[in-house]
């Protein structure tokens, strides 16, 4: 690899439309990425002799020494690095413009992921508001744990996700609101009538829980630790609705995200801790380009939250 390559250089430009529209940009970008002329030629879609002749012509036409040669390996001079870096940026910009054109030419779609507890209310409102502005966009969705959704986002299987709490710095973030965690108990439980519960008072209870993949489980365990005990878990599930139904059946109690589901057999009791809530928002991968549909969805969500403060809050009543 070229040791002169800047760490902040844009991604390599593969052979394709850019190489056909602006071959010099693709060839310079390839030489910045790899000093082996044979490999750089293959990466830019030409033969090695063709690239070698082109390199000599650049220097002759420009009157600038761009390369130092040792066999088939080359080293870019400072002028060569400056020119190749500019070419790479231009090629990346051109590729982005071409991708926008291709996106406009085919049916538009958005791959959206979200936490189950955010689906019926928050995500439903976001999608409804977005569809009012972009009725032709097909929205495909996937529910799952934050960790799974972020993995799919990083792999390119999802365009944008609605999760909580805020993920690592590699992801872009638009804060939507706040979601509390409640102690869910059967309607006739001894703690059901409290305005707020100190979790220490539930230390001897049997707990039901989401499994360890979920950030909710990790936060619930932390709240119990804060209260001075390790919860006795009788059952783990991968769906908060299932856990809530088991609580209604009297199997135990649970710490779950507050949502708008209605089950007259359970009661959500606020937890008396400042840590019993989490920030929720929209995340996207900063290492991948967010397409125009994803950017439009994000911008529409930002406008919605600004217009109706608190619309994305899920708090204990």
| pLDDT tens figures, 248-265 | 999 999 999 988 777 899
Under 8 Å between Cβ of 161 and 114: yes
Domain residue extents for the chain: 17-105, 109-176+280-307, 178-277
Determine the pLDDT at residue 40.
86
Fold that domain 17-105 belongs to in CATH = Arc Repressor Mutant, subunit A (1.10.10)
Residue range 5-49, pLDDT digits in tens: 333 333 344 456 777 778 888 888 888 888 888 888 888 888 888
For the chain, strand residue ranges (E) read 67-70, 73-76, 109-114, 138-143, 160-163, 171-186, 206-210, 232-237, 253-257, 266-270, 277-285
Under 8 Å between Cβ of 160 and 110: yes
More reliable by pLDDT, 172 or 37: 172
Nearest partner of 269 among 212, 210, 223, judged by Cα: 223
Domains 109-176+280-307 and 178-277 share a fold: yes
Determine the pLDDT at residue 72.
61
User: Which range, 94-98, 268-272, 313-317, is most confident?
Assistant: 268-272
Q: At what angle do helices 292-307 and 124-133 cross, to 10 degrees?
A: 110
Does 109-176+280-307 carry CATH code 3.40.190.10? yes
Under 8 Å between Cβ of 11 and 95: no
Class of 178-277 in CATH: alpha beta
Determine the pLDDT at residue 196.
96
Q: What is the DSSP letter of 289?
A: P
pTM listed for this prediction: 0.64
């Amino acid at each position: 690899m070229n040791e002169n390559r800047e760490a902040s250089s844009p991604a390599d430009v593969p052979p394709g439309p850019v190489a056909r529209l602006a071959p010099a940009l693709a060839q310079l970008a390839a030489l910045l990425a790899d000093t082996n002329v044979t490999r750089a030629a293959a990466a830019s879609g030409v033969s090695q002799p063709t690239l070698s002749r082109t390199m000599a012509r650049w220097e002759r036409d420009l009157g600038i020494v761009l390369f130092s040669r040792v066999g088939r390996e080359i080293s870019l001079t400072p002028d060569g690095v400056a020119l190749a870096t500019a070419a790479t940026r231009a090629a990346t910009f051109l590729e982005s413009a071409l991708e926008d054109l291709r996106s406009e030419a085919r049916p538009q779609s958005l791959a959206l992921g979200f936490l189950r507890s955010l689906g019926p209310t928050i995500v439903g409102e976001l999608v409804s508001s977005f569809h009012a502005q972009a009725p032709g966009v097909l929205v495909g969705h996937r529910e799952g744990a934050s960790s799974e959704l972020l993995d799919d986002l990083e792999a390119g299987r999802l365009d944008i996700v609605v999760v909580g709490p805020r993920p690592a710095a590699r992801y872009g973030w638009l804060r939507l609101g706040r979601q509390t965690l409640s102690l869910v108990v059967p309607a006739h439980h001894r703690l059901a009538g409290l305005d707020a519960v100190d979790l220490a008072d539930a230390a001897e209870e049997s707990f039901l829980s989401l499994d360890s993949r979920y950030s909710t489980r990790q936060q619930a365990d932390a709240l119990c630790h804060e209260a001075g005990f390790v919860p006795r878990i009788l059952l783990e599930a991968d769906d908060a609705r299932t856990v809530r139904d088991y609580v209604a059946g009297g199997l135990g109690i649970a710490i779950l995200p507050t949502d708008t589901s209605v089950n007259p057999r359970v009661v959500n009791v606020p937890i008396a801790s400042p840590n019993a809530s989490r920030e929720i928002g929209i995340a996207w991968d900063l290492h991948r380009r967010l397409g125009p549909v994803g950017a439009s969805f994000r911008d529409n969500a930002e406008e919605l939250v600004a217009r109706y403060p608190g619309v994305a809050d899920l708090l204990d009543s």
